[in-house]
Amino acid sequence: MSVPLLSPAHPARTGPVRGSITVDVMTNTRDDFWCVIPAGGAGTRLWPLSRAGSPKFLHDLLGSGRTLIQATVDRLTPLAGERLLVVTGRRHAEAVAAQLPEVPSDRILAEPSPRDSMAAIGWAAAVIERHNPEAIIGSFAADHVVGDPETFRAMVSEAVAVARHDYVVTLGIRPTYPATGFGYIHEGASLEYDDAPHARSVVQFVEKPDAVTARRYVGTGEFRWNAGMFVVKARVLLDLLAQWHPDLAAGLRRIAAEPERLEQEWDALEKIAIDHAVAEPAADEGRVAVVRCDVPWDDIGDFHSLAGLLAVAARDDDADAAASDLYTVGPADVLGIDSTGIVASRSDRLVSVVGVEDIVVVDTPDALLVTTRGRAQHVKKVVDRLKAEGRTDLT
Amino acid sequence: MSVPLLSPAHPARTGPVRGSITVDVMTNTRDDFWCVIPAGGAGTRLWPLSRAGSPKFLHDLLGSGRTLIQATVDRLTPLAGERLLVVTGRRHAEAVAAQLPEVPSDRILAEPSPRDSMAAIGWAAAVIERHNPEAIIGSFAADHVVGDPETFRAMVSEAVAVARHDYVVTLGIRPTYPATGFGYIHEGASLEYDDAPHARSVVQFVEKPDAVTARRYVGTGEFRWNAGMFVVKARVLLDLLAQWHPDLAAGLRRIAAEPERLEQEWDALEKIAIDHAVAEPAADEGRVAVVRCDVPWDDIGDFHSLAGLLAVAARDDDADAAASDLYTVGPADVLGIDSTGIVASRSDRLVSVVGVEDIVVVDTPDALLVTTRGRAQHVKKVVDRLKAEGRTDLT
């Protein structure tokens, strides 16, 4: 049911490094919508569970039976079907392919090196643009957790409708607490689209705030969490990029047109986040919209966040589950006495915790971490120290 | 330089199960002094470092380069020379012999089963009594830490002098804090012995006190910690035992006389601590003396205690060492950030601790423990739980 498209010059090849795509024959109005899943980031603050060589999107952190990238694909398949591209690091392409057997291997774009989110998403956009310049792409990170998938997909559909008007559309998550770990979107007036009643203009994107500012943001009701989800026409994205970063846009389009140029061009691409490259300057020009998306969401940035998600999941499963229980990740053999927190184990050892509150224990074959939920952000310091000491086998 | 003595009926044998001894040819007045080292106890509150199969006396917990039993022998050899018997469980006899190559293997008495301290010490006493009924034995646990060995040996020598007057003599450790984990000795008047100026009568032994009582004890200056160290003539010990526990005394003497009866008699011996069997009733009869012994001492009862000892050792080595540092046991690969406490590792994994205070992390190949110094006493609960679940491979 899929036909090869694009790039007659593209040589036949196997393996994960690809720059061409095949697409379904279009059959309905949504067939111009493509999902792009950037799968990157080491998840440093989830060390030693998440490593450079085994990043968090490859893990089933919530014990759902699906890894984060699998759950991401599951969530988006009802919208995009097979129109899905994963962009990941070359070292992870094989693992990604193994976890996503339903995704044809030429839908997995393998980056020769990490060049940040603009290059990753822009590469996918350029590939899709060559197929259909008016195609709309939605970019969703491989390692986030999203609840209420029906509502989520309805909001993505609204975002697609708004993107048809050449907006860059972001999904704005309703803040449930004054988080200081996320950026915020300052929303403006409703865009009054009948097919996108939750769409509003964006006043601006704002950086991660301090605690006082975060409380103010949440208090006004005019701020949303920026979950890094963007819905935009492939052509619009690249044209906007060309406006502010012409070399990057041109490089990505050349690679899409001539995939054999990947090795030669990639490492010279500008390393920049999509937020800074396009979203923020486009917002200043009134080109960005936000769709209010009231679903549970988290980027599982650290073990504190993970423990909170596990507590929520436990309450969903068991009304009696206490917020102050001890939660486990993995098939851990845990003996807890008077303890709360989280134990993640990738070993078959007994892990016993006695009289510790909000503890975080992560047991892996070559590294053990003990910290607390309150210090979860500081786990990054361990990774920094290990890197400084040249112990990259552990990072 | 040693000649076989005793038991012509005793068959020649090899291996650790023995009931006969060889002794040095006596050359000076101290040659009637024998050291007995009971090496037992699982050290449950030091789990999983200390196990039933690998008790704490076999470990170098303080990083001194010598295990606790080795350090005990080192401490006593200047007093007793080769006149030393170790009494240990049959399963540990081989490990003890390997750690003490200088101790002839027939000086290691291997108990078929644990029958508490009276049977262990009494067996050694009965063996020594057959050699020399007037011999004085000093019993010192294999798993205690004693500082200032010169002073310690001087006090043992005073105890030997007092024991010649047929006293049961105990060493009373000056309390340095109102401990609730030790029994106390209520001391009376000086015994006025010229060769034992630190010797006093004993009013009574008292059980482990509550915190209020402990403070009162320490405040009076009349109470000493009972470190379970007893110095007494072999004959006196067994005769006193015969007074209150005639079957036990007779059984021990039969085993000493006919070592081949060990298997047959041992398991029927009464299971009782030497404190209850002899020391306490003898104190009621005015037969017990105490020698004031002002040396650092600890039984390393739990990880809180161990952490304190490591802190003291670090300060001795390095005047700048802070009491609030993170100390390690074993060749641990530890990366500590903003943390205090103790990490004991028997693995080659990296152990990283981040932002935790007074933490206790014990990393062994099959079991991991995380607790705090404040909860160190509760570690026993884990062992109890494992036993209840039949997981004795881990205890």
- Tens of pLDDT, residues A99-117: 999 999 999 999 999 999 9
The mean per-residue pLDDT over the stretch B67-78 comes to: 96
User: Are the CB atoms for A354 and B379 separated by under 8 Å?
Assistant: yes
For a pLDDT cut of 70, what percent of chain B falls above it?
A: 91
Q: pLDDT at residue B97 above 70?
A: yes
CB-count burial class (<10 Å; 0-12, 13-18, 19+) for A201 = middle
- What pLDDT band is residue A316 in, cutting at 50, 70 and 90? confident
Mutation site, B44, B328, B345, B350, interface A, largest A CB count within 10 A = B350
Q: Enter the DSSP assignment of A282.
A: H
pLDDT, tens only, B18-48? 444 443 333 333 689 999 999 998 788 999 9
Residues of B in contact with A349 (CB under 8 A): 365-368
Q: Kindly report the pTM of this predicted structure.
A: 0.84
Per-residue pLDDT band at B347 (split at 50, 70, 90): confident
Report the range of poorest mean pLDDT among A352-366, B16-30, B308-322: B16-30
Cβ contact, residue pair B352, A368, below 8 Å: yes
Contact residues, chain B, for A48 at CB < 8 Å? 350, 352
Report pLDDT for B18: 43
C-beta atoms of A368 and B349 within 8 A: yes
State the nearest Cα–Cα gap between A150 and chain B, in angstroms: 39
The domain locations on chain A are 14-298, 323-394
Mean pLDDT of A118-132: 97
- Give the rounded percent of residues in chain B with a pLDDT score beyond 90: 82
Q: Over chain B, what is the mean pLDDT?
A: 90
Give the single-character DSSP code of B278: I
Query: Residue A63 pLDDT > 50, yes or no?
Result: yes
Cα first-last separation, chain A: 42
ipTM above 0.90 for this complex: no
How does A257-284 read in b/e, with b if 16+ C-beta sit within 10 Å? bebeebeeebeebbebebbebbbbbbbe
Which candidate in A49, A334, A335, A370 is best for mutational testing of the B interface (most B CBs within 10 A)?
A370
Return the structure tokens found at A149: 């998938």
Residue B49 has pLDDT above 50, yes or no: yes
- Number of other residues whose CB lies within 10 A of the CB of residue B28: 7
Residue of A334, A368, A372, A385 to mutate for B, most B C-beta atoms under 10 A: A368
Spatial contact of B222 and B180, defined as CB atoms under 8 Å apart: no
- Three-state SS for A321? coil
Task: Inspect the interface and report whether the beta carbons of A378 and B352 lie closer than 8 Å.
Answer: no
In DSSP terms, B326 is beta-bridged to B341
Side-chain half-sphere exposure of B298, counting CA atoms within 13 A: 20
Check pLDDT > 90 for residue A79.
yes
Chain A residues with beta carbon closer than 8 angstroms to that of B379: 354
What integer is the mean pLDDT of A17-31?
A: 44
For residues A320-341, average pLDDT: 84
Q: Which of A48, A338, A372 is closest, CB to CB, to B355?
A: A372
Question: Looking at domain A14-298, what is its CATH homologous superfamily?
Answer: Spore Coat Polysaccharide Biosynthesis Protein SpsA; Chain A (3.90.550.10)
CATH architecture classification, B2-298: Alpha-Beta Complex (3.90)
The kind and range of the H/E element at B102 are none
Q: Average pLDDT for residues A174-188, to the nearest whole number?
A: 95
**pLDDT at A14 (0 to 100):** 37
Band (pLDDT 50/70/90 cuts) for residue B243 is: very high
- Write out the E strands in A79-129: 84-89, 108-111
E strands, chain A, in order? 2-4, 22-24, 33-39, 84-89, 108-111, 136-139, 145-146, 168-173, 184-190, 199-206, 223-233, 288-293, 297-298, 326-329, 333-337, 341-345, 350-354, 359-363, 367-372
Contact criterion met (CB < 8 Å) for B361 and A352: no
Compute the nearest-CA separation of B141 from chain A (Å): 28
Nearest CB to A370: which of B48, B359, B366? B359
Query: B231 to each of A337, B151, B367, B391, how far by Cα in Å?
Result: 42, 16, 39, 40
Cα distances (angstroms) measured from residue B262 to each of A28, A279, B23: 91, 86, 21
Residues A275-300: what's their mean pLDDT? 96
Q: Are B124 and B251 in contact (CB under 8 A)?
A: no
Q: Which pLDDT value is given to residue A323? A: 55
Whole-number pLDDT of residue A250: 98
**Nearest C-alpha of chain A: how many angstroms from B323?**
20
pLDDT at A158: 96
Instruction: Indicate the pLDDT class of residue B268, thresholds 50, 70 and 90.
Output: very high
Q: How far is B190 from chain A (nearest CA, A)?
A: 46
- Residue B351: list chain A partners with CB under 8 A: 367-368, 370
Asked if residue A225 has pLDDT above 90, the reply is: yes
Q: How far apart are CA B88 and CA B213, in angstroms?
A: 34
Give me the residue from A48, A352, A359 closest to B368, CB to CB: A352
Let me know how many helices (H) and strands (E) chain A has, helices first. 12, 19
Contact in structure between B213 and B204 (CB atoms under 8 Å): no
Question: What stretch of H or E contains B342?
Answer: strand B341-345
Reply yes or no: is the peptide bond before residue B48 cis, omega within 30 of 0. yes
A368/B374 touch (CB, cutoff 8 Å), yes or no: no
Cβ contacts below 8 Å, chain A against chain B, sum to 110
Task: Decide: B352 and A370 in contact? Cβ < 8 Å.
Answer: yes
In single-letter form, the type of residue at position A279 comes to A
Indicate whether B88 pLDDT > 60: yes
Residue A322's pLDDT is what? 59
- Of B120, B114, B41, nearest to B86 by C-alpha is B120
CB count in 10 Å sphere of residue A37? 30
- Distance, in angstroms, between A378 CA and closest chain B CA? 7
More confident call, A8 vs A319: A319
- Higher-pLDDT residue of A4 and B191 is B191
The answer to whether residue A25 scores a pLDDT higher than 60 is no
Residue B319 or B133, more confident: B133
| Neighboring chain A residues of B334 at a CB cutoff of 8 Å | none
Cβ distance A338 to B375 less than 8 Å, yes or no, reads: yes
pLDDT value of residue B323: 55
- What per-residue confidence (pLDDT) applies to A261? 96
Nearest CA in chain B to A389: B335
Nearest chain B Cα to A365, which residue?
B349
Q: Rounded to whole angstroms, how far apart are CA atoms B189 and B200?
A: 5
How buried is A326 (Cβ within 10 angstroms: 0-12 exposed, 13-18 middle, 19+ buried)?
buried
Q: Each residue of B173-204: pLDDT tens digit?
A: 999 999 998 999 999 999 999 999 999 999 99
Q: Give the B-side interface with A, CB within 8 Å.
A: 48, 335, 337-338, 349-356, 359, 361, 363, 365-372, 374-375, 378-379, 381-382, 385-386, 391, 394
Task: Give the pLDDT confidence of B132-174 residue by residue, as tens digits.
Answer: 989 999 999 999 999 999 999 999 999 999 999 999 999 999 9
Interface test with A, best of B304, B340, B354 (most A CBs within 10 A): B354
Among A95-99, A321-325, A369-373, B190-194, the least confident range = A321-325
Q: What is the dihedral of CA A304, A309, A311, A316, to 10 degrees?
A: 170
What is the C-alpha radius of gyration for chain A, rounded to an integer number of angstroms? 21
- Confidence check: pLDDT of A19 > 70: no
Å between B359 CA and nearest CA of chain A: 9
Q: Do the chains contact at A351 and B337, CB–CB below 8 Å?
A: no
Radius of gyration of chain B (CA): 21
Output the pLDDT for position B334.
94
In angstroms, the CA B348 to CA A168 distance is 51
Q: Within 10 A of B266 (CB to CB), how many other CB atoms are there? A: 18
For position A65, what pLDDT does the model report? 92
Question: What is the DSSP pairing of strand B136-139 with strand B33-39?
Answer: parallel
Q: Which helix (H) or strand (E) holds B104?
A: none
Element of type H or E holding B200: strand B199-206
Most confident of A46-60, A233-247, B339-353: A233-247
- The pLDDT of residue A42 is 73
Q: State the pLDDT confidence band at A226, using cuts at 50, 70 and 90.
A: very high
**Token output for A100:** 């996503």
The whole-number average pLDDT for the span A340-362 is 94
